Chain A
Amino acid sequence: MTLIGAPLTRVDGRAKVTGTAKYTAEFEIPQVAYAVMVTSTIASGQVSGMDTAAAERAPGVLAVLTPRNVLKLPGAERRITVLQDANVYYQNQPVAVVVAETLEQAQHAAQLVRVRYDAKLANLDFEAGFPASYPGEHNGEPGDAGWGDVNAGLAQAEVKVEEVYTTPIHHHNPMEMHAAIAQWDGDKLTLHDATQSVTQRRSYVAKMFGIPEDNVRVIALFVGGGFGSKGQTWAPVVLAALAAKQVKRPVKLVTERPQMFGMVGARPRTHQKLSLGATRDGKLTAIKHEVHAHTSVIEDYLESSAFATRVMYDCANVQTVHRLVPLNLGTPTYDRAPGVATGTYALEVAMDELAYKLKMDPLELRLKNYAEIDPGTKNPFTEKSLNECYKRASEKFGWARRQAEPGSMREGDTLVGWGMATETYPARRLPCSALVRLQPDGRVVVASGTQEIGNGIYTVMTQVAADALGIPPELIDVKIGDTTLPPAPISAGSMSTASVTPAVHDAAMQARNNLLALASGDAQSPLHGIAADQLDINGGNISAKGSPGKTENFRALLARHGQPVEGHASLKPDLDTKKFSSHSFGAVFAEVAIDPLIAMPRVRRVTAVYDVGRIMNAKTAQSQFIGGIVWGVSLALFEDTQMDPPTGRFYNSNLAEYHVPTNLDIGEIDVSALDIPDPKLDSMGARGIGEIGITGTGAAIANAIFHATGKRVRDLPITPDKLI
């Protein structure tokens, strides 16, 4: 395994930075027409009438789709809001689609559509909805779980923390907006779609249109960021397919930036009550984590904020509770470490508050309650070396030099604060298949229907295949993002590497064995007659073990053979989850500086060390950790979707007013990983790294701000107005 872990430069890097990597909206399809959505300006009610005459008369317009004339879909669900009826459930819901010869003509005509509404009173008050809130589940896991007797644990506690932490609505805002091109050929549909799962998209769309899955092909060669918003199927792609069917032309639909605020998911608002009990010497006696999160009135999505609380610390009495509050907002969904990012913010700030009450170092408190086994299931972890993360990260950061007293570390007028937190994310994998084909022309195709969402999967697949085959990576062409390829799971939940690479590895090993058998049986090969298990391949050269003179390049062999040599694999997860728990962990330390007068916190440096299984590519892994931490800074200080309370319309639905960090907001980031393989989860030993960086980081920054200023802000984001 020489290539695994190597800092191979992204194989698609050049294509991306030179603009030749083709994203969905960039495909040029002959005869394509352009669709633009008209969206609602009420949060609840019905479309009572629509004046489309001016739009229909406008130059270039092919059709104006409305609830009155749209094709009825046999498999339509209420959640998808694709004009199937006149109901409006949230602001910015599609109510009409204008299709025209050019994008500009469609945009212009869309502005000419006049919509009348019968508005109903909308549910928009989050906290007023608590009494009628109800339980839910997340990915099939119940929202309510626990062990021991949490009330007894709190009663016996010598020191307690009871606080409420709140996080606002977030919108994913990938750079690439949701986009689709739909092309019908009879009842066969080809979709170019910016999706995190070509497979799920195919089955959902097929069901909606009432056609066999095999009639639908979905293509997504590059996805310009998803962050969870491109996992579920939302209205835009279905509307593109509807419009294409109705105008009998290929149709391209690209969501406008403000339209990203409503119809394509969001991280829901959370209200989290944390009750911690501990003995005087810092042993936790109880953790109670009660979460309210909003959902929509048309679908339940549960932000699983307290799930991480179930694995974090050794504690005899734990209770986690989630309640859903339905509001007239677009359905929320998975967003950047769903549940865990918001939940670890609350839990890890509460732990910091407890440390101060105990007059104990926050790191020492974590070590005191270190969970050697999964505290809920009592199962061992597949591998866990979090204590080593704490040790390395604290040493690199210089934590020992911290003065505990808030406001005690100063540089002139500047207050300096240090904070830390534990990070975690569950490790999972899903069934995946792959194909490796050694072609007569000497190129190697490695294929799996996974998606490149910035995670580097093209590169890691190249490395794994090259390593297994003994063939240079330059000869490998990775094919992904197409439902005609062997099916792979959704690119989400930090699962891609653990799911895809074992399948690629096994398919490559099979192809390699077939290749060596071919050499052995080929009368024209210098290796003829040598048993396949006595052959080896390195750098593309097949040789006989112990007979250095006998060698042949695989390309010569294949050229002579004239037929491809293949390997296939289709793998299912084989970890017995009744016997093991598998989670990644990490430790994050942050330093903030703040002029107490003007109250603008700056994150000067972040140090984190991760225990995430084997690192498959040192370079892309570094990028993913850094990206996660940048989102953690964003969670702590910036992201906040503001809602206009009377109308339920999002106030800041653009990137000037919805803040994500700029380069100037990001200080020094020092990330590293233990790189301890975890072969119990998957044969490659990798656990996935995409999301862990955002977890804990929000809390580490919030804790650093408290350490700097003595102000405990329990409502994200932490902006200057909350610090004066």
Chain B
Amino acid sequence: MNAFEYKRAEQEQMAIDSIVDAKDAKFLAGGTNLIDLMKNGVQTPSRLVDINRVPLDKIEVIPGGGLRLGALARNSDTANHPLVRTHYPLLSQAILSGASPQLRNLATNGGNLLQRTRCQYFMDTGFSKCNKRVRGSGCGAREGVHRKHAILGASEQCIAVHPSDMAVALAALGARVRVRGQKGVRTIAIADFHRLPGTTPQVDTNLQPDELILSIDLPASPYAAHSHYLKIRDRASYDFALVSAAAALDLQGGTIRSARLALGGVAHKPWRSEKAEAVLAGKPANRAAFEAAATAALAGAQPLKENAYKVELAKRAIVRALELAGGAA
């Protein structure tokens, strides 16, 4: 671990000021990912700005509709909050399928979005090739181990996947991320929050270096009655997704009024498929429609040798998640 300076911020403005006036400063919230990366020598911030005392841990109703999840509310508290359970069961399910109870007790909502990939070429500095860690060094995964890597939206430079389950549900639910920087407060649609790797795989998100996440805002949702988060993984707990599917249906009788569908474990960001959603809209909620949606969602997939199975597995995950969401399984 590198030597670093530790500062504690009590208020938003103080946090932002503290991050701006040091090079390579990082906010410290739950620390469940950042501290590991620092121990591994992957990240070497000069300063940690501890924001745990900044009052951003509330979960509250947004006047006019929706729910505001404080950036510093813990994942466990969020998943088990009555309003989340009642109105956004998809989110609750997604959070609870990730990590372990101990980690969820510490991890925060803002931090969850900012997790780095678990690609081991990135995590282990003993590997020389990782464009995300060392620009221009190459991608070790492409020629090496890539069983868990991206099949959608990847680039020559990077095939890493985003590890979050929570973010996949947020993508399906159309969340917005409220952030504050030196220039004031702005909101970023969840779809625009994370980036595809392209030629800048070192940049995971569109959050600016001076910006602090304040909250994740969920719009009012018609999907509470029919949603499901399905996570396929090698073991039943404490494991990242091979593929996951967040599926939500607004049903009238047996017909789909509108649908939401996002995938995890397939791309550098939570992968919402509006094409698949369009295929489902207006269709009867049945296996044929679900399979058509699955085909649409994976249409542009570009797998490699070891992760080719993900195309079929993702399709199946979509079908089963939609069935479980619609109660038609």
Contact = CB atoms under 8 A, between A and B. Distances in A.
Interface stretch (A14-22, A158-166, A324-332, A644-652): A644-652
Contacts of A107: 1
B120 A652 contact: yes
Nearest to A602: B236
Give the size category of A's interface with B. 35 or more
Interface in A632-662: 637-638, 642-647, 649, 651-654, 656-657, 659, 661-662
B237 A664 contact: yes
Nearest to B3: A108
Interface string B210-251: 000000000000000000001011111111101000000000
Given A597-B320, A659-B235, A720-B242, A645 B126 contact: no
- Of B126, B238, B316, B329, chain A has the most CB atoms within 10 Å of the CB of B126
A299 to B, nearest CB: 23
A111 B2 contact: yes
Which residue of B120, B127, B242, B317 has the most chain A CB atoms within 10 A of its CB atom? Answer: B120
Contacts of B309: 720-721, 724
B312 A598 contact: no
B313 A662 contact: no
A657 B120 contact: yes
A665 interface: yes
B124 interface: yes
A720 B317 CA distance: 12
B147 interface: yes
A647 B242 contact: no
A598 B232 contact: yes
A649 B232 contact: no
Contacts of B128: 41, 647
A659 B239 CA distance: 8
A715 B313 CA distance: 19
Contacts of B239: 659
A292 to B, nearest CB: 22
A600 interface: yes
Interface centre among B121, B239, B310, by most chain A C-beta atoms within 10 angstroms, is: B239
B313 A41 contact: no
B295 to A, nearest CB: 15
Nearest to A40: B126
B229 to A, nearest CB: 13
Interface stretch (B80-88, B138-146, B153-161, B195-203): B138-146
Nearest to A92: B126
Contacts of A662: 235-238
B95 interface: no
A126 to B, nearest CB: 15
Kindly state the interface size class of chain B when it binds its partner: 35 or more
A413 interface: yes
A643 B145 CA distance: 7
A665 B145 contact: no
Contacts of A652: 120, 145
A597 B313 CA distance: 8
Contacts of B237: 662-665
Given A111-B2, A645-B144, A652-B120, A664 B236 contact: yes
A664 B1 CA distance: 34
Interface string A691-724: 0000000000000000000000000010111001
A663 B237 CA distance: 8
B7 interface: no
Contacts of B238: 656, 662
Interface string B296-329: 0000000000000110110011011000000001
Interface string A580-610: 0000000000000001011110100000000
Contact of A644 (B1, B123, B145, B312): B145
Interface string B1-18: 111000000000000000
A287 B127 CA distance: 44
A598 B230 contact: yes
A664 B239 CA distance: 12
B55 interface: no
Nearest to A633: B235
Contact of A599 (B124, B143, B313): B313
Interface of A is mostly: loop
Interface string B105-122: 000000000000010110
B1 A104 contact: yes
B144 A651 contact: yes
Describe B's contact surface by its main secondary structure. Answer: loop
B320 A595 contact: yes
A229 interface: no
B236 A644 contact: no
B234 A638 contact: yes
B41 interface: yes
A647 to B, nearest CB: 7
Contacts of A135: none
A644 B127 contact: yes
Contact of B235 (A595, A599, A665): A665
Nearest to A59: B3
Contacts of B41: 111
Interface in B177-220: none
A724 B41 CA distance: 38
Interface string A657-691: 10101111100000000000000000000000000
Contacts of A431: none
A598 B320 contact: yes
Contacts of A597: 316, 319-320
Contact of B234 (A111, A413, A659): A659
A120 B147 CA distance: 28
Contacts of A599: 232, 313, 316
Contacts of B126: 39, 41, 91-92, 258, 649
B239 to A, nearest CB: 7
Contacts of A646: 143-144
A598 B321 CA distance: 10
Given A720-B232, A721-B242, A724-B309, A649 B1 contact: no
A10 B15 CA distance: 52
B235 A661 contact: yes
Given A651-B120, A657-B120, A600 B143 contact: no
A665 B238 CA distance: 10
Contacts of A111: 1-2, 41
A663 B234 CA distance: 14
Contacts of B121: 644
Nearest to A111: B41
B144 A656 contact: no
A663 B144 CA distance: 31
Nearest to A666: B236
Contacts of B312: 724
B127 A647 contact: yes
Contacts of A653: 120, 124
Contacts of A719: 234
Given A104-B1, A108-B2, A108-B3, A600 B233 contact: yes
A647 B124 CA distance: 13
Nearest to A600: B232
Contacts of B124: 258, 649, 653
Nearest to A258: B124
Contacts of A598: 230, 232, 313, 316-317, 320
A644 B123 CA distance: 14
A595 B1 CA distance: 44
Given A720-B234, A720-B242, 15 more contacts: A108-B2, A111-B1, A598-B230, A599-B232, A600-B233, A642-B147, A645-B143, A647-B140, A651-B145, A652-B120, A657-B120, A659-B239, A661-B235, A662-B238, A721-B313
7 contacts: A108-B3, A258-B124, A647-B128, A657-B120, A662-B237, A665-B235, A721-B242
Interface of A: 39, 41, 91-92, 104, 107-108, 111, 258, 413, 595, 597-600, 602, 637-638, 642-647, 649, 651-654, 656-657, 659, 661-665, 717, 719-721, 724
* 9 tightest A-B CB contacts, nearest first: A721-B309, A664-B236, A664-B237, A662-B237, A651-B145, A644-B144, A41-B126, A597-B316, A665-B236
